[in-house]
Structure 1
């Protein structure tokens, strides 16, 4: 599941990078965010169900989660600030110095900005970060809901999210579950559907997971890639209702060869940084590429993709090490 989290971040980066060059390089590029929410809900419920965590102060538990996520989020926000600086100072693409600074300070306090900047993104300096912000609120709600022993309230929240998503899909006349519609308020039921669905899935897995056949992890990872490459158009609900839960279930139940135990913790440490830094790193390369007069043939080429992805992975390694070292210093 930790490797899946990392692959989700990489797939979202690939989707954003390919937009100007290839139409729908990943045909089901909308589904990784739902996989992310469900994995986060599953892992959060597992963490909150530990006896020591259940006995701890809930404010402290939520504070620890924010302390883990927010530094990476803030670094990515600063990277986005730098990436869009040339647009702000040139008054290009709707940017001005005023809304550039405003977007930064709004982002620092996790508040959305409703504008036409960056295709209407509510966090224009780093559009994918909306999911991390909503997931933080979801984690806080789950922590205070106190459901480790009784998932009935959790089921009620999840069922409510399902109902809202169905209504929104009908209102938006979108049989693909509304995932293609850019709408901030629609993100809340979408997060709730995946996140609390993942938490509910943990309860079921905790009871029945031992009976599940243990697939090889390569089969699980291949299923993730195959899911993204499905070309059928209107399959949002079948994927969301069946494909994503099965992927998370078998990811939690799969066999654990030695190589998996060796690389999974490292993948988990880098997953959040890859997700949050993908868009700002990509934009920095695009803006700086213009200034250093890179040839037009470089844009959209495999060479550019390799350079940008390599920069992203290098940045995620640096942040993971910095976070690990700071954590060790705090414990000592």
Structure 2
């Protein structure tokens, strides 16, 4: 999570890995009788906060000391795009297979248009739908399709678009005073709550306050508010951490979150919590729990050698797992015999394939490609890819 001899935030790496796993499991279990990690969409808000923290740590001083905006954006594209491209190489055939099985109402021309948009890292604002994580034999009615995914071939990639938007915003945020950062956070928090209420009304009150915006055409623009709050909060948390600013309840937080394992378990429990409490639970996590976890996680060291290795592995795996799990899961559930009758086996296979493909793709394709692109376009210096910021 750092470069050179800068401080490593191993526990934040591990936390990001736990969050990515929760997202994977909730997607794989979304059409089963017992959905896992009901609130895993909160992981995206955590990702945005971690992104603000990590990019401040990795690039703030470099940008202030002369790293050009062009060079910085180039580095961010090189970091994010290769694995995204691998995911699209799997996701495009998977979407075509789902459409051929009659589980999508995307016409071919729309798939082509969406693909061209997405390959340019841009959203596709359409109104077609797809049945996700179901078998080819399923007879799912159209009204149960997921409609308007802005990255149809890899729906999870929607947050990567907003990551790039936030990366550009960092060029401005690094020059703001703390009081101005707080103003941005408060303003975006108010807007996030207001849009959550409006989206709840649109959902006919099923979820009175809906915070899971950004992934689809109908809630796309709310994604800018969501990332504005999360990313700027991460920037502020880094500022507080760097200046060793004590929090009012800092001692109590350190007692509750006493080590890395407790931190991981708490976030896993938060995402697995089965009740939304009329939107109050996700609101509490977004506005209070997640920021405190990032703040505390930055101060915690791994509790042992094994914990350090686990944190490093979870962090290293987090981005490929997040990128690759959805298209791989689509294919597994599409072709797994009786995936509706045997969802546990299908989930286990999808998880195993995701992990295996993530390791192979990272080692054999993504890291060599990034090394080449970095040498060619981003820097003449040798770069340790394992320490490049992942979010």
**TM-score with structure 1 length normalisation?**
0.88
Structure-2 residue corresponding to 1:22: 33
Structure-1 residue corresponding to 2:138: none
Structure-2 residue corresponding to 1:84: 95
Structure 1: 5+ residue runs without aligned partners? none
1:275 to 322, 328, 337: 322
The answer on 1:162 being equivalent to 2:204 is no
Q: Partners in 2 of 1:104 and 1:208 — Cα distance?
A: 46
Query: Between Structure 1 and Structure 2, how many residues are aligned?
Result: 326
Where do residues 202-281 of structure 1 align in structure 2 (5 Å cutoff)? 202-208=238-244, 213=254, 215-234=258-277, 235-256=281-302, 257-281=304-328
The answer on 1:320 being equivalent to 2:332 is no
1:203 positional shift: 0.6
2:68 to 57, 60, 66: 57
Structure-2 residue corresponding to 1:115: 127
Q: Partners in 1 of 2:291 and 2:301 — Cα distance?
A: 18
Q: Partners in 1 of 2:329 and 2:165 — Cα distance?
A: 27
Greater displacement, 5-14 / 171-180? 171-180
Cα deviations by residue, 1:282-328 (Å, 9 ceiling, x for unpaired): 01112233xxxx24576412x32221111101111123213333455
Structure-1 residue corresponding to 2:388: none
1:89 positional shift: 4.2
2:211 to 179, 182, 185: 179
The 1:137/1:274 distance shift into structure 2, 3 A limit, reads same
Q: Answer yes or no: is the 8 Å Cα contact 1:82–1:284 preserved in 2.
A: no
Q: Which runs of 4+ in 1 moved over 6 A?
A: 209-212
Structure-2 residue corresponding to 1:68: 79
The 1:224/1:54 distance shift into structure 2, 3 A limit, reads farther
Q: Answer yes or no: is the 8 Å Cα contact 1:110–1:133 preserved in 2.
A: yes
The answer on 1:306 being equivalent to 2:351 is no
1:138 positional shift: 0.5
1:157 positional shift: 2.9
Q: Partners in 2 of 1:268 and 1:26 — Cα distance?
A: 19
Q: Partners in 1 of 2:181 and 2:39 — Cα distance?
A: 28
The 1:52/1:166 distance shift into structure 2, 3 A limit, reads closer
1:130 to 158, 163, 186: 158
Q: Partners in 2 of 1:106 and 1:297 — Cα distance?
A: 33
The 1:147/1:225 distance shift into structure 2, 3 A limit, reads same
Greater displacement, 275-284 / 52-61? 52-61
The 1:241/1:48 distance shift into structure 2, 3 A limit, reads same
Q: Answer yes or no: is the 8 Å Cα contact 2:332–2:349 preserved in 1.
A: no
Q: Answer yes or no: is the 8 Å Cα contact 1:49–1:148 preserved in 2.
A: no
Q: Answer yes or no: is the 8 Å Cα contact 2:87–2:323 preserved in 1.
A: yes
1:151 positional shift: 3.3
1:25 positional shift: 2.4
Q: Partners in 1 of 2:82 and 2:371 — Cα distance?
A: 16
Q: Partners in 2 of 1:216 and 1:28 — Cα distance?
A: 23
Structure-2 residue corresponding to 1:192: 228
1:141 to 169, 173, 176: 169
1:220 positional shift: 0.8
1:263 positional shift: 3.6
Greater displacement, 55-64 / 84-93? 84-93
The 1:230/1:209 distance shift into structure 2, 3 A limit, reads farther
1:140 positional shift: 1.2
Q: Partners in 2 of 1:48 and 1:88 — Cα distance?
A: 43
Which structure has the highest helix share of the two? 1
1:59 positional shift: 1.4
The answer on 1:3 being equivalent to 2:30 is no
1:141 positional shift: 1.1
Q: CA RMSD in A?
A: 2.5
Q: Partners in 2 of 1:128 and 1:54 — Cα distance?
A: 35
